[in-house]
Amino acid sequence: MLPTADVSVVFAMVYEIAVITFGCVHAPIRAGTVQKFKRKVFYLGGFDPRGVRFYHQLYREQAARHAGLTGDPLSVSARRAGPASSAIWTVENSEQGVETEYEYLRWEDLVGKVWVRNPLILGWRSIATYVGHARFMQFKRMRKLRPGPVLTICYPPVLAVMIPLLFALIPALLLWIVLPFWAAALVGIGISALASGKWLNKLVVPWLLRFTYYHHGLAANGPGPDLDARLDLFAQRMAAEMDGPWDEILLVTHSAGTILGMSLMRRLFALRDGPLPDHFAMLGLGQVVPVVALRADATWYHADLKALEKKAFRYVDLSFPPDGAAYFNVNPLLLMSDRHAARVDMLSPRFHLFYEPENYHGGWSNKYEAHFDYLRVGDRLSPVDFISLTAGRRPLDDSLAAFRAIP
C-alpha cells in the first residue's frame, strides 16, 4: 500500500494526464496535494479608449462564467495601481491551487488623445488615410495572406458614403412627388442624419475608420514620443519580472495590441543580457500585425520585426477565421523575414464549438463582438478560453495539447 503522500502525488499526475488527453475532464485538486502554481500575466490591449475599468469588469464577468462551468470559484481582486502606467489585480483559483497576478498595461489615455469623435472631422481625415493606404499598403500581398481583412479595411469608407446617401436620396425622391425639390431634399437630409448613424454603428464603420486612421499615422510617422516612452516603460517592467517567482509568464496581446507587442518584444530583448526564461510565452489574440507591417513606409516597424528574426521565444497565435479583422494563420514573424528562431504555433480558437447557436457571434452585425470573443468564456469550457489560459492550472503548452485533443 502506498503512503498517503505518494497517493496524493499519483492522483495529481493522473489528473493532469486526463486533462491533457481529454481536454474537458475536470476535477478539483485537493489542497495540499500540489504546490501552488503562480502565473504572471501582462496584458496589452487594442485601440480602445474604454481602458482598465471596462476590462477589469469584463474579466470579473468572464471569471464568474468560468466558475459556473467548472465549479471552481475564482476570486478576482480589486485593481490597484501598478508601477509602470499599469493596473494590477490578483486572481485566486483556490480549488486548483493557482494564483495569477494580472497586470494590465495601460495606454487608453494615448488612445483618447487621438480618438476622433466628430463624424465630419473623422470623414475628412479618412480621406487622407485611404490616400495613404492606396500609396503604401501592399494590398496584393495582404489579399494573398488573408482576403477578409482587406474587405474589413476597404468597406468602411464605401458604407460611410453610401448609407447616408441612400437614407437621404430615397425619401427625397419619394417626397418629390408631393413637395418641391428643395423641401424634399431637406427632409431626406434630416432623415439621413437621424437614421444613418445607427446603421453605421451597427456595421462598426466609425470604429473601423478611427482604427484605420490611427494606424495610417502609426505606420507613416512611428509611435511618437509618448507611445515610445510608454513602450519603454512596459519593457522595463516586464524585464524586472522575468526572473521573478513565477511558474509561467505570459505577455497577452489583443487586436492592435499585437502590433505594439512586437515592438515591446524588441525592447524586452534589448534590456536582457541573456535569453528569456523558458516559462515565458507571448500570446497573440486576433492578430492584426500586417495592418502596419505591410505598409511600405513603416520602416521603423519593419526594423522591429527584423530584430526578432534571431530571437528565441515562444509565440502562440490564436486568430479565428470568421473574425474579419484578424489574420488567421499568418505568422507575423515571417512578414519581413523568411525564417525565425521563435517556437510558433498558429491556431484557431474554434469559437463555434463552444457557443450555443443563439449566442455565437456570427454574421456581419456581430463582427465587432466576435473580435472580443478572445477575451470571453463560451457556453462550454475551452482549454484556450481567456480565463482558462490566465487563471487555470495548466501551463500554456498543456492547454494547447488539451485543445488539440478535442475533435
**235-254 residue pLDDT tens:** 999 999 999 999 999 999 99
**Residues 106 and 169 placed together within one structural domain of the fold:** no
Exposure letters 241-257 (e unless 16+ CB within 10 A, then b) = ebeeebebbbbbbbbbb
Phi (first) and psi of residue 87, to 5 degrees: -125, 145
**Band of the pLDDT at 7, cuts 50, 70, 90?**
very low
pLDDT value for 196: 85
**Residues 331 and 392 placed together within one structural domain of the fold:** yes
26 part of a folded domain = no
- Tens of pLDDT, residues 384-404: 999 999 999 999 999 999 999
Cβ-proximal residues to 211 (8 Å cutoff; 6+ apart), any chain: 47, 256
pLDDT value for 209: 94
**Residues 206 and 259 placed together within one structural domain of the fold:** no
pLDDT value for 2: 38
pLDDT value for 359: 85
Cβ atoms < 10 Å from Cβ of 128: 13
**Band of the pLDDT at 32, cuts 50, 70, 90?**
low
pLDDT value for 197: 84
**Residues 283 and 390 placed together within one structural domain of the fold:** yes
Place of cell 498543456: 398
- Rounded Cα gap, residues 79 and 166, in angstroms: 47
**Residues 80 and 97 placed together within one structural domain of the fold:** yes
**Residues 248 and 375 placed together within one structural domain of the fold:** yes
**Band of the pLDDT at 333, cuts 50, 70, 90?**
very high
**Residues 60 and 207 placed together within one structural domain of the fold:** no
Position 16 pLDDT exceeds 50: no
Identity of the residue numbered 365: S
The CATH number assigned to the domain holding 304 equals 3.40.50
- Rounded Cα gap, residues 317 and 274, in angstroms: 24
- Identify the domain containing residue 151 by its residue range: 116-216
Q: Supply the mean pLDDT for the chain.
A: 89
185 part of a folded domain = yes
**14-20 mean pLDDT:** 40
33 part of a folded domain = no
- Which ranges constitute the DSSP H helices of 71-180? 108-114, 119-136, 139-145, 147-175
**Band of the pLDDT at 31, cuts 50, 70, 90?**
very low
DSSP strand pairing (75-76 vs 280-285): unpaired
Position 28 pLDDT exceeds 60: no
**Residues 243 and 353 placed together within one structural domain of the fold:** yes
- Rounded Cα gap, residues 294 and 307, in angstroms: 16
4 part of a folded domain = no
44 part of a folded domain = yes
Decide which of 157, 191, 216 is a domain's last residue. 216
11 part of a folded domain = no
**Residues 232 and 249 placed together within one structural domain of the fold:** yes
- Tens of pLDDT, residues 171-226: 888 888 888 988 988 998 898 888 888 888 888 899 999 999 999 999 999 999 99
**Helices H / strands E in the chain, number of each:** 15, 9
Contact between residue 246 and residue 39 where contact means Cβ atoms under 8 Å apart: yes
Whole-prediction pTM value?
0.88
**Would you give the DSSP letter of residue 92?**
E
Decide which of 193, 216, 239 is a domain's last residue. 216
**344-355 mean pLDDT:** 95
The x, y and z cell numbers of residue 321, run together, are: 477565421
- Rounded Cα gap, residues 342 and 340, in angstroms: 6
Identity of the residue numbered 28: P
DSSP strand pairing (248-254 vs 80-81): unpaired
**Residues 206 and 229 placed together within one structural domain of the fold:** no
pLDDT value for 26: 47
**Residues 140 and 99 placed together within one structural domain of the fold:** no
Cβ-proximal residues to 272 (8 Å cutoff; 6+ apart), any chain: 239, 242
Q: Distances in Å between the alpha carbon of 108 and those of 1, 87, 249, 273, 328?
A: 59, 12, 23, 31, 26
- Rounded Cα gap, residues 347 and 364, in angstroms: 23
80 pairs with which residues across the strands?
Answer: 88
207 part of a folded domain = yes
Length reported for the chain? 407
2 part of a folded domain = no
**Residues 274 and 351 placed together within one structural domain of the fold:** yes
User: How many structural domains compose the chain?
Assistant: 2
Decide which of 179, 194, 216 is a domain's last residue. 216
